[in-house]
């Protein structure tokens, strides 16, 4: 998942969330619709006018704050500050939405430019010494821990932004932050626009699912054209029998936005490094971790080393087993390449566990998967989802649902709204993401959130048959969405689910992934799209056993990405050779042979919002598995743990430090016991012949 968040402070490394606005408590929308730009902004000029209205409202809130002459209080100082933050979030996220999802290049261009404008406003606020001094003067409430934490956290972010520097230094910081935002947006835009095409013969498509082939019509010469969009890429890498087709697809996919993003990334890293040294840090990674759970770049490296020690032996064991298997049919094979890794892992799972990933695809048509995930989330989180058909959306394919509470004592209370933009189209962001737009404020504004994904389906006659990994991704992203909705019920707009420390934000989503493996949950929605037959329990057992294979390699892959993102931000940018550094990390963490001609850095989307902090996924996997281990495996959805999880982890949002949220649910800090048990499940699963 890619998350890009908004904050008025620390704007150099906390950006805009890809999501949509929030609805009022009992909304009677004005003609201007101050919460949803896409409703009224049909032209670039109209979009600019809409954003400017939000920025004017933000300035009015700050003027109200600075005009106070008497003693500072929560109501006369923190309240207008939070209102200003709210306006910035509305403006920033709507601008970013249009940049990522609008149906015309002109609107996407304007959205990109306006996202930078809103970032400039956020930077101004983060460096406004008057606002900082006013917040410092607010007495910390003794009996309101959420408000006290909000003030303390906000003041920390102000200091990290450089508000306490002299005027000349603040001006330099302002310019650097503006530069970072513009370059970062260019980096992302190049990826979104960087769809590449490859051609294939019909013979090269052998091994691919019949529905995949049917969706790709040959030209007059019998040539098939494939793209680097997600629904095209992974079936080829998983199933195509042609090693040459797999290689071409892998090279294309790993070279999107190259060479365009080479100078762009250099510029981004140089600007971030200059910002860090200006603020008194040796490297940007030290700055980016200063307000996180992990605390420092040195601690990130320690985490990487820990996970490496835990997973390396098992990952090499996995590879040796895989190579030996591949050599049975190809005796001359001495190594497995990165472009062949997924294919051979799929073949190995078929042989060892009797599981063919294509066998489950008919049970996962997109429409049924969506319904099943909504049903699962409704039971687990004690909510209900009601379709909304009367609202205006930015594309006809977007589905909208209102979320209602179903918990005892609160049943029927409307909690917020979600939008699902789930299939690829021209000009749309090419990754999978979730996020807030306008955070919720109890009694004043309801949270709305969205998913932006690129799953199969969405076309007439296409059932959208999903890989089981696609369904896991859907569960993951929906976990983010529920954190936003349930965590957006607090007092302050700046304390929603996505305002938690950045290295905790992936924990709830990764916890929800684990629900995918439960047979009762899967059989509640996974039905054959032709016959309606429920997915057999025996097939689920094989799928779960097979999916456990490769977990150690997955961990090694995650720390490979973590190490790379850390090194990019923990060394002098002029000395970094992007491809050479990636090759070094591949050689250290991956047993698979590199593929010449790839340029991974150019499309590493997480370098935008996460910067040096990709380690978040690994740390939060440790936490998520520890969370999941507390659930009753025989009663995942309806047991008492589900509501306790909602109350102690999701609903508080960012009203407490993330370390406290973990302790409140576990009764202790997280540890690696559950992670080790999860990884070891692979070696406890018997082969198919022994079942």
What are the pLDDT digits (tens) for 310-362? 999 999 999 999 999 999 999 999 999 999 999 999 999 999 999 998 999 99
What pLDDT shows up at residue 411? 92
> 146: how many CB neighbours lie within 10 A of its CB?
17
What pLDDT shows up at residue 690? 41
Mean of pLDDT values over 499-524? 95
Q: Is the pLDDT of residue 162 over 80?
A: yes
Mean of pLDDT values over 533-542? 96
Entry field: residues in the chain: 691
Percent of the chain past pLDDT 70, that is, above it, reads 94
Q: Is the pLDDT of residue 586 over 50?
A: yes
Mean of pLDDT values over 240-265? 97
Contact at 8 Å (CB) between 166 and 14?
no
Confidence of residue 19 (pLDDT cuts 50, 70, 90): very low
Q: What are the backbone dihedrals phi and psi of residue 37, each rounded to the nearest 5 degrees, phi first? A: -60, -40
What pLDDT shows up at residue 30? 43
Could you give the CA distance from residue 450 to residue 434 in angstroms, rounded to a whole number? 6
Buried b (16+ CB within 10 A) or exposed e, 236-253: bbbbbebeebbbbbbbbb
Q: Of 16-25, 178-187, 208-217, 405-414, where does mean pLDDT reach its minimum?
A: 16-25
Q: Of 42-46, 357-361, 435-439, 492-496, where does mean pLDDT reach its minimum?
A: 435-439
Q: Is the pLDDT of residue 14 over 90?
A: no
Q: Is the pLDDT of residue 592 over 70?
A: yes
Q: Which residue has the tokens 């890293």?
A: 269
Could you give the CA distance from residue 373 to residue 375 in angstroms, rounded to a whole number? 5
CATH class name, domain 23-192: mainly alpha
Contact at 8 Å (CB) between 170 and 680?
no
Could you give the CA distance from residue 49 to residue 34 in angstroms, rounded to a whole number? 11
Nearest of 504, 81, 574, 483 to residue 293 by alpha carbon: 504
Nearest of 468, 446, 454, 444 to residue 420 by alpha carbon: 454
Nearest of 448, 363, 507 to residue 97 by alpha carbon: 448
Q: Is the pLDDT of residue 271 over 80?
A: yes
What pLDDT shows up at residue 9? 36
Mean pLDDT, the chain, whole residue set: 92
Confidence of residue 685 (pLDDT cuts 50, 70, 90): low
Could you give the CA distance from residue 115 to residue 572 in angstroms, rounded to a whole number? 28
Q: Is the pLDDT of residue 688 over 80?
A: no
What pLDDT shows up at residue 225? 97
What pLDDT shows up at residue 683? 64
Q: Is the pLDDT of residue 238 over 90?
A: yes
What pLDDT shows up at residue 440? 96
Percent of the chain past pLDDT 90, that is, above it, reads 87
Confidence of residue 233 (pLDDT cuts 50, 70, 90): very high
Q: Is the pLDDT of residue 16 over 50?
A: no
Domain boundaries, the chain: 23-192
Q: In Å, what is the CA distance from 147 to each residue of 21, 136, 420? A: 24, 13, 32
What pLDDT shows up at residue 240? 97
What pLDDT shows up at residue 686? 63
What pLDDT shows up at residue 7? 36
What pLDDT shows up at residue 73? 98
Could you give the CA distance from residue 546 to residue 351 in angstroms, rounded to a whole number? 10
Q: Is the pLDDT of residue 219 over 90?
A: yes
What pLDDT shows up at residue 495? 96
């Amino acid at each position: 998942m890619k998350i890009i968040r908004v904050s008025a402070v620390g704007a150099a490394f906390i950006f805009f969330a890809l999501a949509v606005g929030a609805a009022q408590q009992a909304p009677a929308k004005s003609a201007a619709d101050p919460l949803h730009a896409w409703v009224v902004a049909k032209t670039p000029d109209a979009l600019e006018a809409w954003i400017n209205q939000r920025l004017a409202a933000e300035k009015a809130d700050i003027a109200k704050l600075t005009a106070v002459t008497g003693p500072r209080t929560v109501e006369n100082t923190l309240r207008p500050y939070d209102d200003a933050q709210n306006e910035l979030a509305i403006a920033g996220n709507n601008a970013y939405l249009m940049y990522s999802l609008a149906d015309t290049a002109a609107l996407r261009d304007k959205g990109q430019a306006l996202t930078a404008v809103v970032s400039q406003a956020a930077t101004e606020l983060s460096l406004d010494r008057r606002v900082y001094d006013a917040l410092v003067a607010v007495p910390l409430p003794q009996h309101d821990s959420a408000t006290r934490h909000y003030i303390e956290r906000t003041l920390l972010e102000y200091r990290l932004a450089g508000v306490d520097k002299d005027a000349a230094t603040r001006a330099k910081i302002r310019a650097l932050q503006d530069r970072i935002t513009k370059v970062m947006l260019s980096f992302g835009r190049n990826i979104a626009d960087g769809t590449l095409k490859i051609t294939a013969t019909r013979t090269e498509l052998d091994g691919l699912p019949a529905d995949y082939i049917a969706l790709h019509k040959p030209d007059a010469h019998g040539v098939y054209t494939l793209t680097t969009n997600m629904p095209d890429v992974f079936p080829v890498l998983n199933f195509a029998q042609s090693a040459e087709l797999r290689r071409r697809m892998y090279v294309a996919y790993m070279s999107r936005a190259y060479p365009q993003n080479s100078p762009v990334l250099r510029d981004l890293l140089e600007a971030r490094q200059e910002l860090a040294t200006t603020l008194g840090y040796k490297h940007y990674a030290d700055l980016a971790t200063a307000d996180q759970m992990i605390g420092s770049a040195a601690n990130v490296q320690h985490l990487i080393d820990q996970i490496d020690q835990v997973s390396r032996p098992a990952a090499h064991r996995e590879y040796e087993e895989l190579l030996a298997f591949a050599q049975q049919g190809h005796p001359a094979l001495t190594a497995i390449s990165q472009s062949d890794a997924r294919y051979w892992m799929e073949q190995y799972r078929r042989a060892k566990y009797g599981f063919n990933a294509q066998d489950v695809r008919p049970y996962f048509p997109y429409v049924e998967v969506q319904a099943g995930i909504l049903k699962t989330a409704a039971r687990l989180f004690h909510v209900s989802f009601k379709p909304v058909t009367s609202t205006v959306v930015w594309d006809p394919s977007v589905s909208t649902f209102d979320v209602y509470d179903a918990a005892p004592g609160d049943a029927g209370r409307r909690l917020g709204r979600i939008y699902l933009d789930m299939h690829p189209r021209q000009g749309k962001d090419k990754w999978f993401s979730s996020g807030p737009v306008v955070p919720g404020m109890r009694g004043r504004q309801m949270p709305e959130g969205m998913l932006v994904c690129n799953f199969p389906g969405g076309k007439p006659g296409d059932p959208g048959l999903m890989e089981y990994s696609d369904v896991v991704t859907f569960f993951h992203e929906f976990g983010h969405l529920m954190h936003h909705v349930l965590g957006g019920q607090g007092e302050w707009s700046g304390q929603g689910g996505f305002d938690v420390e950045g290295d905790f934000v992936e924990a709830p989503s990764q916890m929800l992934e684990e629900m995918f493996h439960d047979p009762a949950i899967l059989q509640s929605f996974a039905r054959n799209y032709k016959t309606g037959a429920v997915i057999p329990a025996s097939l689920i057992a094989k799928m779960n056993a097979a999916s456990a294979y490769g977990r150690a390699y997955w961990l090694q892959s995650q720390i490979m990405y973590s190490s790379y993102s850390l090194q990019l931000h923990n060394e002098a940018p002029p000395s970094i050779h992007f491809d050479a550094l990636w090759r070094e990390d591949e050689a250290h963490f991956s047993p698979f042979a590199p593929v010449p001609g790839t340029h991974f850095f150019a499309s590493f989307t997480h370098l935008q919002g996460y910067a040096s902090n990709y380690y978040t996924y690994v740390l939060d996997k440790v936490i998520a598995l520890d969370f999941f281990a507390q659930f009753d495996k025989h009663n995942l959805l309806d047991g008492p743990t589900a509501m306790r999880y909602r109350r102690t982890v999701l609903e508080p949002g960012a009203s407490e430090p993330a370390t406290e949220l973990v302790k409140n649910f576990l009764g202790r800090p997280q540890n690696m016991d559950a992670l080790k048990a999860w990884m070891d499940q692979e070696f406890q699963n018997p082969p198919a012949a022994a079942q």
